[in-house]
Every structure is written in C-alpha cells, then in structure tokens.
Amino acid sequence: MVKQWFQLKEQGAGMKRLILTMYIYKWFGSLPLRIIAFFVVLSVFLTAKERREASGKFYKILNKKPVLLSSFRQFLNYGNALVDKFISSCGDLSLEKFEVEDNEIFDGTLFLMTHIGNIEVLRTLLSRPGAKRANVFMQSNACEIFNKFLKMTEAKVNLEIFPVEEINAETSITVSERLKNGEIVFIAGDRVSAQNTNKVYTRPFLGRKITLPLGSLKFALMLGAPICFIVCAKEGRKYVVHTEKFTPKSEKKSEILEELEIAYVEFLEKYTLKYPYQFYNFFDILE
C-alpha cells in the first residue's frame, strides 16, 4: 500500500532548532551548518526506515536495481538544500547564484511547484528591488514556524504565506485580485492533502503510476490566471530555474483539466529524470 507523506512522522526543524541554527550561522558562517547537516542526514538515513525504503524503491525503478549510495546522495543533497534555504531566508543568497532558463518569472502568473530541487531559495529573486509580491501556499505547520522565523531575521522578504488547508472562497478572491495586480502565486502540485485524500488523479509516471492532488490544479484553473510549471534545481554552485507555460488546446473545462494533469505529470517526470538526486519526495508515491 502506498503511504503518503502525511502518514509519516515529521522530522523537520522546530522553532528552537531554527533559532540555534541562526546563531551558529551568524557567528561561524555556513560551513558548520553543512557539517551538522551531514551528521543529521546520516542519522536520519540510518533510522528513518520507511523513507530509506521509499528512496530505494525510487532508485530501483530508475536504475533497475536498488542503490544504497544513490539514496544517501539524495538524503545528503536534501540536507544541503535545507542549508541553502536557511541562508536564503536570512537574505544572504546572492542573485548571482541564479540562472533563469526557458521563460521569465512572469508577473500575474500562478506557478505549480514540485518537490524537485529547492524552490524556497527563489525568495532571493522575489525579494529583489522592484519585484512583485509572491503569495505562497504551504502546509499550516510549516507555515506557522516559517512565519515566526522570518520575523526574527533581518531579511526583507516580499511574500505572504497562506495555509494550503484553508483555501476557501475568501482566499480565492484575495489571491485572484492579487494576480490581476501583477503579483505571483506558488502552490505545490505533487503532494496529496491529508484533508482531501479522495480528491486525486492517477497518471503514468516513470513506467509506473503516480497519484497526485486534484485540488491544486482545479484551484489554478479557477483563478483564471496564466499557469506555469516551475522547478528550481542546483547545478554546480548555481540554481537554475526552469519554467514551462501551460497552454490548453481545448475550450471545455473538463478537457482542460485533463490536459493540465497530463502536462504537469510530464513536466514532473522530465525534471525528475534530469535531477534524480534532487527529487525530495521521501515517501512511497509510485504504484
């Protein structure tokens, strides 16, 4: 049976750990954080059996055999991505670290994110002078911790965070108006909500099947703004931003939704294969 991410015990950082991390970073820089991240990742890799097994299954599908070293590399990349996310939250990630390919980050666009790479570091680009405000939907527990942490840092972050579980008519109207004013919106399209496990769709993925949330896609279409898929992945010392605009061929709502499902999964598969060690879904998603 496929076990979703919300069925696994969360091992993320709490507020106290973030505060301690902030002081270590301010006093000693990023190197100690990467050393700490290595040992934390090693501990998690050895003890988090379900995550390790899900990762092993993923690389077995890709490589036709389980590769323990590939799984550890994936875990370690994730640890380093968290360090980069932290540095970005503090406003210390340079704009020179980014390269935007394919398209620009258009104003007034809704971006469907993935858990490939490190989309959170994009706040560096979004906080540059003249950039429009970004509106980001996150899980409520992460949203609360992250908002509190941002208030403690000196970084000027031009974004507002909404709990993804609390999308309602009022939220939709607010976000729709902001899109019309040129602001941008980010919402993930590759994790099933704990509150809506029955509102899903299934598509072919890596020769298997993957089940993804339908709500994110319906929400994107309902707002009526341009839709783009987006990945921000690390290549060497830079983060490369890939975007792909969704252009429907049909005029029927039901057919447009199906087209969006197919296009999003194809985008997800394309960049999963391009960045297999930056695919950070540490749970069993493939049937």
Reported as type and span, the H/E element at residue 263 is helix 253-274
Give the DSSP letter of residue 247: -
Name which of 102, 66, 141 is nearest 111 in CA terms. 102
Domain for residue 144, yes or no? yes
The radius of gyration of the chain's CA atoms, rounded to the nearest angstrom, is 19
Domain for residue 285, yes or no? no
* pTM strictly above 0.85: yes
Domain for residue 284, yes or no? no
Domain for residue 287, yes or no? no
Name which of 85, 53, 75 is nearest 279 in CA terms. 75
Q: Cite the DSSP H helix spans in 103-139.
A: 123-126
User: Could you tell me if 122 and 232 are in contact, meaning their C-beta atoms sit under 8 angstroms apart?
Assistant: yes
Domain for residue 286, yes or no? no
If one counts the domains in the chain, the total is: 1
Provide the domain limits for residue 136: 5-278
What per-residue string of b and e applies to 19-47 under the rule 16 or more CB within 10 Å gives b? Answer: eebbeebeeeebeebeeebeebbeebbee
Domain for residue 225, yes or no? yes
Give me the tens of pLDDT residue by residue for the chain, a chain 287 residues long.
444 433 344 444 567 787 888 889 989 999 999 999 999 999 999 999 988 998 999 999 998 877 899 999 999 999 999 999 889 888 888 888 899 876 667 889 999 999 999 998 988 888 777 788 899 998 766 666 666 666 666 556 678 888 888 888 899 999 999 999 999 999 999 987 666 556 899 999 999 999 998 999 999 999 999 999 999 999 999 999 999 999 999 989 889 999 999 999 999 999 999 999 999 988 777 77
Domain for residue 83, yes or no? yes
